[in-house]
Amino acid sequence: MAYEGILLGMGNPLLDISAVVDEDFLNKYDIKLNNAILAEDKHLPMYEEMANKYDVEYIAGGATQNSIRVAQWMLQIPGATSYMGCIGKDKFGEEMKKNSKLAGVNVHYYEDETAPTGTCAVCVVGGERSLVANLSAANCYKSEHLKRPENWALVEKAKYFYIAGFFLTVSPESIQLVAEHAAAKNKVFMMNLSAPFICEFFRDVQEKALPYMDYVFGNETEARTFSKVHGWETDNVEEIALKISQWPKASGTHKRITVITQGADPVVVAEDGKVKLFPVVLLPKEKLVDTNGAGDAFVGGFLSQLVQEKPIEECIRAGCYAANVIIQRSGCTYPEKPNFS
């Protein structure tokens, strides 16, 4: 089977602790909707408080892992996808392994002896989400793990690589190793802007990886932050997408394509000096459960068609389909089989 191990993801495996909260809770911990941040000391009590005060759900998460699981679900070909990241040796870690195996993803976790499995507070108000990640073990991933023969074999086997920008805070060396391999072997390397704080505070490592990116994903807020950080003096998402696509490339095999989602507004695709807009499937407000995982699901749907070498229109359609399914459910979860033709 040609699809085995075709897509490899690397990132921060986190257990989502998801609950519908209230404005007071957001204000107390100084968190904003539609944002994603790393937990500081002031945030640490919130995990316990959420569990005690609200109706919490525990869902396997982490941006890259979500995208890979969704791509796997859309493909319905066991073992088409692989994933690496670091978890702890604990009950949450075991849960994560069980979840991923059930999803059909070939996971090679690095298991840290000391740190607990990372968690992410998903605070939902009015269907919109705010993410506060306590990386713990996820922050302990080392490139030594990637270099082990049984793990590097996954890199050799894959033809497509996807890494969320969040992993730039953990192991830029690992990203660089995979990026350089992809460029040398004419494979497809893809990343996500992932969050405003990545564009602002991890600018150097992001810029080092950018020349290797054949596809750049992101949403409108991240794109505008990227523009501001680079002094482009434009808030126009189409212009920004174009500028990102024209950033110099490490390898000339593939032209860079930028794909920016804008919630209910059209998806912006920039390639070859041109911009195209793709309208999304609109969902009536009463059907929206939460937006947690929507962007990840979009990428997962997109990748499921890209690895089959489908045209970009089909990739976008699959991305929109997957995102539409996910926002009608809690967290990044999906029914048994996709209904996508």
The set of catalytic residues is 296
* Tokens 């409108």 -> residue: 220
d(CA 130, CA 123): 5
Residue partners of 32: CB distance under 8 A and separation at least 6 = 26, 130
DSSP-based three-state secondary structure for 119: strand
Q: Which string of DSSP letters, residue by residue, matches 249-303? A: -S-SSS--EEEEEETTEEEEEEETTEEEEEPPPP--GGG----TTHHHHHHHHHH
Q: Which of 203, 210, 289 is nearest to 243 (CA)?
A: 210
d(CA 6, CA 276): 28
Q: How many CA atoms lie within 13 A of 146 on its CB side?
A: 23
